[in-house]
A and B are shown apart, each in its own frame.
Chain A
């Protein structure tokens, strides 16, 4: 006999009601049963939230580097920590930027938009009257810098092509520099002293935050390249920032830039290049193993707690089947089919798991919300994907743990179970 749609709907409705009855009638037992799932779901969602947070924090940092900027540098980002491999490479010359620009302007099909040179030091000290800041990031570049870097000015302006060309002693400072050197006074027009030279402040950057929590963009002083070299000499750490035309054509752009640099450096074909082309994605590949490690450990832990939870539910459902043997017999006598009984017990275990899942989600939401309030700088993010994922996991746990007892219930002999005492 084919089960009609309507019959199925009514029976499922009945099963849902009975499951609620059952859970309400055994509140403590149901709660203890659900506890395994609650803990499992909290573990899952906390882990997911942490990984999400790492991801977002990282993306935010990477956005500071600019998604459409690639860098020509002496060493590669993706093998950081192996400085000795790059020690003998020649330094990157700021003049390359000029050469690159000349080539790409002649080639209308170039993937590259503009190259900007930069020289920098992390060890600068900035002075104003008796105030002194150490470990300032000083950077020399040209007037096109802003095309290759994010960051807006909160006041003033960036230096012009003319100022850059004539090595004018002007600077644009980060928000932290402005507020530490000039607390409670106007900044623009004042002079900041780098080593023994004075630079007039013509612009201030809006606050940007830290890159990977390590390096602050608000702690930088940007000056014309010639002026930088006048203070720090020509042998500082230099690199070329190159903006792409299309953010999505990273591979083509890198290829092109590689070819250009080989031409400029006159590296014969077949010989390994003595420079590196870097992009922000290299950082990402460094982070992935860490992230995967956390995820793997998390999956293992959550898997264990869910497994324990599932066993608890299976156990309690077996007990419930035993206790309700007569009810099962009666329902069968009144016309319940095997499938009806199976569904009833499955729905019950799924519902316990779902309730556990929802409680678990609530706890996680509360925890992440509290952490977010206490430590606003932590990149914690509670995503809706996680809600769906954990509810799905709850349902699966319910089905897996309820299946065996439900099958045993559905197979009970009606005559015997009606006489069960």
Chain B
């Protein structure tokens, strides 16, 4: 039985003008992500995976082509609409964690809820629940500087999940972590996938990619291979 598509990309291209050259960062790719897909996007640098990640995350819009996220045409949206989509539909996890250093874990995690217009009491409740879910119930009032790298990334995962997004978009989430911690983080992603989340992972590490169930390889802006396991 085919699960419905969350993301549909059709002949999607992104070109950059560099001087008088046109760089084809993404060259009319077709992609489809279904609900509960657990995907790794791989490729050497310059293959277009960052560009794809930006477009998937609605941080950037394609030059041409169709991008539908949850049935909404994202390619033609303006900045504020994209901001709303990022807020509601996408949970970001970054290689560099990107927590605000002056805020404690709770305040970091509730940030997306502020932009979603959720009341303070509910924000606090949901953020602490999310932190408990990633095993940081005892670190709620700690600041990022007081946590280890793995703990920080777990805070970031809690933040990504807080608004129940349609997809979780993780950009080299283990890039700054040691092997053991990486393994822990990947286990969390595994559990999230088992719980029904749709996860897209961008990585250049084969062994990290092997945690997933689908591997997409990019080269020169085109899809080289797309393998489901």
For residue A410, give the distance in angstroms from its CB to the closest CB of chain B: 9
Query: In this complex, what residue of B is CB-closest to A10?
Result: B114
User: What residues on B are CB-neighbors of A418 within 8 Å?
Assistant: 59, 94, 98
Q: Do A335 and B98 contact each other (CB < 8 Å), given the known contacts A1-B84, A415-B54, A418-B59?
A: no
Residues of B94-129 at the interface with A, using a CB-CB cut-off of 8 Å, are 94, 98, 100, 102-103, 111-112, 114-120
**Contacting pair A335 B100 (CB below 8 A):** no
**Contacting pair B115 A334 (CB below 8 A):** yes
**Contacting pair B59 A335 (CB below 8 A):** no
Indicate which residue in A10, A21, A25 contacts B120 across the interface (CB closer than 8 Å).
Answer: A10
**Contacting pair B80 A334 (CB below 8 A):** no
**Contacting pair B87 A334 (CB below 8 A):** yes
Query: In this complex, what residue of A is CB-closest to B123?
Result: A10
Q: Do A334 and B92 contact each other (CB < 8 Å), given the known contacts A25-B102, A327-B100?
A: yes
User: What residues on B are CB-neighbors of A333 within 8 Å?
Assistant: 57, 59, 86, 92, 98
**Contacting pair B94 A335 (CB below 8 A):** no
- A411 and B54 CA atoms in complex are apart in Å by 17
**Contacting pair A7 B98 (CB below 8 A):** no
User: What residues on B are CB-neighbors of A4 within 8 Å?
Assistant: 117
**Contacting pair B115 A7 (CB below 8 A):** yes
Interface of A is mostly: helix
- A7 and B119 CA atoms in complex are apart in Å by 9
Q: Do A326 and B98 contact each other (CB < 8 Å), given the known contacts A334-B92, A334-B112, A336-B115?
A: yes
For residue B174, give the distance in angstroms from its CB to the closest CB of chain A: 18
For residue A71, give the distance in angstroms from its CB to the closest CB of chain B: 69
- A415 and B79 CA atoms in complex are apart in Å by 12
Q: Which of A11, A340, A414 has the most CB of B within 10 A?
A: A414
- A339 and B115 CA atoms in complex are apart in Å by 11
Residues of A326-363 at the interface with B, using a CB-CB cut-off of 8 Å, are 326-327, 330-340
Total inter-chain residue pairs, C-beta < 8 Å = 78
**Contacting pair B102 A334 (CB below 8 A):** no
Encode A1-19 as 1/0 by CB contact (under 8 A) with B.
1001011001101100000
**Contacting pair B100 A332 (CB below 8 A):** no
Q: How many residues of A contact B (CB 8 A)?
A: 27
**Contacting pair A7 B117 (CB below 8 A):** yes
- A415 and B103 CA atoms in complex are apart in Å by 23
**Contacting pair B83 A336 (CB below 8 A):** yes
Does B60 sit at the interface, judged by CB under 8 A?
A: yes
**Contacting pair B100 A415 (CB below 8 A):** no
Q: Do A335 and B115 contact each other (CB < 8 Å), given the known contacts A25-B102, A326-B98, A330-B98?
A: yes
Does B49 sit at the interface, judged by CB under 8 A?
A: no
Query: In this complex, what residue of B is CB-closest to A332?
Result: B83
- A25 and B87 CA atoms in complex are apart in Å by 28
Q: How many residues of B contact A (CB 8 A)?
A: 29
For residue B144, give the distance in angstroms from its CB to the closest CB of chain A: 13
User: What residues on B are CB-neighbors of A10 within 8 Å?
Assistant: 114, 117-120
Q: Do A414 and B119 contact each other (CB < 8 Å), given the known contacts A21-B102, A332-B86, A334-B159?
A: no
**Contacting pair B88 A335 (CB below 8 A):** yes
Indicate which residue in A326, A335, A415 contacts B116 across the interface (CB closer than 8 Å).
Answer: A335
Does B32 sit at the interface, judged by CB under 8 A?
A: no
**Contacting pair B80 A414 (CB below 8 A):** no
Query: In this complex, what residue of B is CB-closest to A336?
Result: B115
For residue A222, give the distance in angstroms from its CB to the closest CB of chain B: 74
**Contacting pair B100 A337 (CB below 8 A):** no
**Contacting pair B112 A335 (CB below 8 A):** yes
User: What residues on A are CB-neighbors of B114 within 8 Å?
Assistant: 10-11, 13-14
User: What residues on A are CB-neighbors of B112 within 8 Å?
Assistant: 334-335
Query: In this complex, what residue of B is CB-closest to A414?
Result: B59
Q: Which of B84, B98, B115 has the most CB of A within 10 A?
A: B115
- A1 and B118 CA atoms in complex are apart in Å by 17
**Contacting pair B119 A335 (CB below 8 A):** no
User: What residues on B are CB-neighbors of A414 within 8 Å?
Assistant: 59-60, 86
Residues of B57-100 at the interface with A, using a CB-CB cut-off of 8 Å, are 57, 59-60, 79-81, 83-84, 86-88, 92, 94, 98, 100
User: What residues on A are CB-neighbors of B119 within 8 Å?
Assistant: 6, 10
Query: In this complex, what residue of A is CB-closest to B87?
Result: A335
User: What residues on A are CB-neighbors of B116 within 8 Å?
Assistant: 7, 335
- A60 and B77 CA atoms in complex are apart in Å by 68
For residue B90, give the distance in angstroms from its CB to the closest CB of chain A: 8
**Contacting pair A337 B98 (CB below 8 A):** no
Query: In this complex, what residue of A is CB-closest to B110?
Result: A14
Contacts A/B (CB < 8 Å), 30 sampled: A1-B80, A6-B117, A6-B119, A10-B120, A11-B114, A11-B115, A14-B114, A21-B103, A326-B98, A327-B100, A331-B111, A331-B115, A332-B59, A333-B59, A334-B87, A334-B92, A334-B159, A335-B83, A335-B84, A335-B115, A335-B163, A336-B115, A337-B84, A337-B115, A338-B79, A339-B80, A340-B83, A340-B115, A413-B60, A418-B94
